[in-house]
Amino acid sequence: MWYSTCFETRGTIGGIVIMPNILVVEDSPAVRQLIVFALKRLPDAKIVEAVNGMDALNKLSFEAFDLILADINMPVMDGLKLIGLLRNEPKYKDIPIIVITTEGVEEDRKKAMALGANAYLSKPIHTYELLKAVEEFLTK
């Protein structure tokens, strides 16, 4: 019931996703907190946190997301594995993914983009850059 109600209120108005549901996948509590704090500037966004790729898959099985922000290096299931799985799953293949990469590790960024990530941001995260990237994918 909650799920259907939720779906009815979602959608786009004037090309902008209303009440976007954003999944943040990051194992570092400090970085995750920073990202969530920045995203709270989006007044109507709902933010769900996952601590690794496996946790993200679990959260994805319960609700629909408009955007995923994913770290690369994580225990249990890393970001590259997660992106690969999502891009091979019809249900998830079109969800925009912004990868959060460690500064200077260009190899990870290339691999993530090759697997189907839509954009990347380098750590350290800057609120302005993060919001700019996020808003780009919440505008259809």
Instruction: Output the six-digit token pair for 14.
Output: 């004037």
Helix (H) or strand (E) holding 21: strand 21-25
Considering only 17, 22, 23, 27, the residue that binds Mg ion (CB under 5 A) is 27
Question: Is residue 71 within the footprint of Mg ion (CB under 5 A)?
Answer: yes
Q: Interhelix angle for 106-115 vs 79-87, to 10°?
A: 20
**Amino acid letter, 27:** D
Of 27 and 108, CB closest to Mg ion: 27
Minimal CB distance to Mg ion: which residue? 73
Question: Is residue 118 within the footprint of Mg ion (CB under 5 A)?
Answer: no
Letters for 30-59 (x = contact with Mg ion by CB under 5 A, - = none) are ------------------------------
Q: Interhelix angle for 53-60 vs 79-87, to 10°?
A: 30
Q: What is the contact surface with Mg ion in residues (CB under 5 A)?
A: 27, 71, 73-74
